[in-house]
């Protein structure tokens, strides 16, 4: 997996390169908008991290150029600008995610992985979280290396949670993904499925935990207990 | 007067009153004096005329001796006023020709002969009734040669002067006190009216504070005398506002500039293999990150006017905040829940700012609620957001101060910088909303934001 980091602060760029390298990415860096445009045109990166304050122009122009070239790679904006208007401008210009400085490296890596786990993303075919692996094409689930059989809907729920690992999955999103337009989900069916799924993960010794956030949805995290 | 009078109006009133009293006193005095003078000269002239009249009626008789021959009407007049008006006439040799009363003639007989230049005299306690007289003594020519004529008139019988004064007091001086009163009223009214713009300006000045530094004093209708002060105050406010702006920009820039090095420190620390000291360091850096973030938030709230005119769905805001903070709660071994209305609750405001406020409240709640308990965000259908925790609650004596900047509870673990609730308060104020902190039963704190309905 190849990433491009567009960041003019050399020290930060270096740390990002090293940490993302440790996380298994191949990393290139660009220190200016011009370098970034050239690199993005030449190489098909799997994702890019973009700083907005560049010495030769706004990062948003890089974003616009890339999208004009028809490249759909996920781009995460990493910036010190945290006003809502800046976020909206960035996301409207075609960014896929937005993280403000200062940030935790773990969160950056998690977010990039989440971007890559999107359907069509590099990691979107096989999802990994803790000791759980889900093949989204073959619809096969393995926990600690052993295959586990769960129902179609529970697998779909798990897939949504693994794609947004560590972040909230609103109940509405699950309902939307699980049921067609014609099917009216019973308000109780999702909690029931989650309950089953939780038990099965436990039984198979998965080191993941599904937390219920009452009134909002669910969150899948690594189980520290 | 030991204490200086500070009120312009009172001072003007007092000074004007003093001036009016002095001026009217002088005017009245002057008029009375000149009336006296006039009356005096009129009396003198009358005496002179009478003396001439008497001299005119002195003739030489057959014996060649001077004799007074008054017409019957004059004689009657003199007889009637024998007490009021006395006279004595002497010839060139000093011999008495005629006197209205013998004792007057006797007294005058001792006087030296009169001069052609009239001389005036006063007699006190003369005659049987002992009255005061004023008179004239003059030498006049007559058909009987030069005569010394002395005419006197009772001083008290000066009817003319009295009537002039009486007329003056009753017809003219009567006007003085009402005139003074009206003039004072007019002066007071005009001072009040011209000071009214100043009162308006001071009311306006009362509204100026750190949050409303852009207010200026109105200079329309301000009296020209006070205008330089108003203009100078407004200029001073301009400079202050500039200073404030620089200060705020500085805070914002400083916080902004701190972000990159903090990011680098955070990342470097993350890349080191951990021991407990490193964890402590990470915690410190995380705290610093949080502080910088809050400082930026405060600087932003201070420097821009919050647009609070949009439609905001409180349920959506709460859902977003709870969702985005869920992983923090889970990581800290706590839980978070959204309860209350499950439909849109629409108010007028600024969604991002309300989200910031709620995030700060939830952050506090997560910091204070014990492990394995739940922080609840409740959306009230009437336009409220309530955050409940199961922590120690807020001591009643601290409640009025918790919204001050940099205030922190005593004996509380010093987690934050004390900016969180101040940020919440700013946002609440900008929305015209209210916030209340209270006790949750059986334990914990309860913060309620109540917004005005859309």
Pick the residue from chain B with its C-alpha nearest to A10. Answer: B264
Question: Is the pTM here over 0.80, yes or no?
Answer: no
Neighbours of B308 (CB within 10 A): 19
- Segment B108-118, tens digit of pLDDT: 888 887 788 88
Report pLDDT for B349.
92
- Segment B163-193, tens digit of pLDDT: 767 776 677 767 777 887 888 888 888 888 8
Closest of B291, B280, B239 to residue B417, by C-alpha:
B291
Contact at CB, A101 and B324, closer than 8 angstroms? no
Res B211 pLDDT > 90: no
- Tally A–B CB contacts below 8 A: 88
Res B142 pLDDT > 70: yes
Rounded mean pLDDT, B410-420? 63
Res B453 pLDDT > 70: yes
Report pLDDT for A39.
92
Res A3 pLDDT > 90: yes
Contact at CB, B259 and A101, closer than 8 angstroms? yes
Closest of B321, B313, B397 to residue B361, by C-alpha:
B321
Report pLDDT for A47.
93
Rounded mean pLDDT, A192-207? 93
Does A225 lie at the interface with B, CB-CB under 8 angstroms? no
Tell me how far the alpha carbon of residue A189 is from its chain's centroid. 27
- Segment A98-114, tens digit of pLDDT: 998 888 888 899 889 88
Report pLDDT for A180.
66
Contact at CB, B264 and A18, closer than 8 angstroms? no
- Taking contacts as CB-CB distances below 8 angstroms, the residues of chain A near B354 are none
- Taking contacts as CB-CB distances below 8 angstroms, the residues of chain B near A221 are 327, 330-331
% chain B with pLDDT above 70:
91
CA-CA distance, A3 to A115, in Å (whole number)?
A: 12
- Segment A54-73, tens digit of pLDDT: 888 888 999 999 999 888 89
**Residue B329 structure tokens:** 């709660």
Is the complex ipTM more than 0.85?
Answer: no
- Taking contacts as CB-CB distances below 8 angstroms, the residues of chain B near A54 are none
Report pLDDT for A143.
93
Looking only at the bridges linking them, the beta strands covering B310-313 and B346-349 are antiparallel
Report pLDDT for B2.
46
- Segment B420-436, tens digit of pLDDT: 888 899 899 889 999 99
**Residue A164 structure tokens:** 């947004």
Does A221 lie at the interface with B, CB-CB under 8 angstroms? yes
Q: Which of B262, B270, B330 sits opposite A211 (nearest CB)?
A: B330
CA-CA distance, B160 to B223, in Å (whole number)?
A: 53
CA-CA distance, B86 to B287, in Å (whole number)?
A: 120
- Segment B212-261, tens digit of pLDDT: 777 888 888 888 888 888 899 889 988 888 887 787 777 767 777 788 78
pLDDT classification of B379: cutoffs 50, 70, 90: very high
Range with top average pLDDT, B217-221, B291-295, B321-325:
B321-325
Report pLDDT for B159.
63
Pick the residue from chain B with its C-alpha nearest to A23. Answer: B271
Neighbours of B275 (CB within 10 A): 9
Determine phi and psi for B285, rounding to 5 degrees.
Answer: -65, -40
Report pLDDT for A162.
92
Contact at CB, B268 and A83, closer than 8 angstroms? no
Average model confidence (pLDDT) across chain B: 82
Report pLDDT for B101.
81
């Amino acid at each position: 997996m190849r990433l491009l980091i567009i960041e003019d602060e050399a020290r930060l760029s270096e740390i990002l390169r090293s940490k993302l390298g440790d996380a298994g990415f191949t990393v290139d860096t660009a220190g200016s908008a011009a370098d970034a445009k050239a690199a993005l045109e030449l190489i098909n990166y799997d994702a890019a991290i973009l700083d907005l304050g560049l010495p030769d122009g706004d990062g948003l122009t890089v974003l616009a150029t890339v999208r004009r070239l028809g490249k759909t790679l996920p781009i995460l904006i990493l910036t010190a600008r945290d006003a809502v208007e800046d976020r909206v401008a960035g996301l409207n210009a075609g960014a896929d995610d937005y993280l403000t400085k200062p940030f935790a490296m773990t969160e950056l890596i998690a977010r990039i992985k989440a971007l890559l786990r999107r359907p069509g993303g590099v990691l979107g075919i096989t999802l990994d979280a803790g000791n759980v692996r889900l093949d989204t094409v073959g619809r096969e689930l393995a926990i600690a290396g052993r295959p586990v059989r769960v129902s179609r809907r529970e697998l779909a729920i798990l897939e949504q949670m693994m794609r947004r690992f560590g972040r909230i999955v609103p109940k509405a999103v699950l309902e939307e993904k699980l049921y067609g337009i014609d099917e009216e989900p019973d308000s109780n069916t999702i909690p029931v499925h989650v309950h089953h799924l939780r038990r099965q993960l436990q039984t198979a010794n998965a080191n993941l935990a599904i937390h219920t956030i009452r009134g909002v949805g669910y969150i899948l995290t690594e189980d520290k207990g | 007067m030991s204490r200086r009078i500070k009120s312009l109006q009172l001072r003007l009133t007092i000074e004007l009153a003093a001036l009016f009293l002095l001026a009217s006193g002088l005017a009245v005095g002057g008029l009375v004096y000149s009336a006296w003078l006039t009356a005096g000269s009129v009396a003198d002239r009358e005496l002179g005329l009478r003396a001439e009249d008497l001299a005119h009626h002195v003739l030489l008789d057959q014996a060649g001796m001077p004799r007074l021959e008054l017409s019957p009407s004059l004689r009657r007049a003199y007889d009637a006023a024998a007490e009021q008006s006395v006279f004595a006439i002497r010839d060139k040799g000093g011999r008495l020709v005629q006197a209205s009363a013998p004792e007057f003639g006797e007294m005058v007989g001792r006087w030296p002969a009169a001069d052609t230049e009239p001389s005036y005299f006063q007699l006190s306690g003369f005659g049987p009734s002992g009255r005061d007289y004023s008179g004239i003594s003059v030498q006049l020519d007559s058909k009987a040669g030069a005569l010394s004529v002395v005419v006197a008139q009772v001083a008290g019988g000066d009817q003319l002067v009295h009537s002039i004064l009486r007329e003056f007091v009753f017809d003219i001086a009567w006007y003085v006190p009402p005139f003074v009163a009206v003039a004072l009223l007019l002066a007071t009214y005009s001072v009040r009216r011209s000071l009214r713009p100043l009162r308006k300006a001071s009311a306006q000045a009362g509204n100026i504070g750190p949050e409303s530094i852009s207010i200026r004093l109105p200079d329309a209708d301000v009296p020209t005398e006070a205008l330089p002060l108003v203009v100078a105050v407004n200029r001073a406010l301009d400079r202050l506002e500039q200073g404030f702006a620089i200060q705020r920009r500085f805070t914002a820039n400083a916080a902004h500039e701190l972000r990159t090095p903090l990011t680098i420190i955070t990342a470097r620390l993350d890349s080191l293999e951990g021991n407990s000291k490193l964890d402590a360091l990470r915690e410190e850096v995380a705290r610093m990150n949080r502080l910088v973030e809050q400082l930026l938030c405060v600087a932003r709230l201070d420097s821009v006017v919050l647009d609070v005119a949009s439609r905001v769905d409180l349920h959506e805001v709460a859902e977003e905040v709870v969702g985005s903070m869920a992983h923090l709660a889970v990581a800290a071994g706590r839980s978070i829940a959204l309860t209350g209305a499950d439909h849109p609750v629409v108010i007028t405001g600024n969604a991002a700012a309300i989200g910031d406020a709620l995030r700060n409240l939830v952050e506090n709640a997560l910091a204070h609620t014990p492990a394995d308990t739940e922080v609840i965000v409740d959306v009230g259908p009437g336009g409220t957001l309530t955050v409940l925790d199961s922590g120690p609650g807020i001591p009643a004596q601290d409640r009025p101060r918790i919204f001050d900047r940099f205030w922190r509870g005593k004996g509380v673990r010093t987690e934050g910088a004390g900016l969180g609730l101040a940020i919440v308060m700013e946002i609440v104020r900008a929305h015209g909303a209210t916030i209340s902190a209270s006790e949750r039963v059986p334990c914990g704190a309860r913060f309620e934001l109540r917004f005005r309905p859309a």
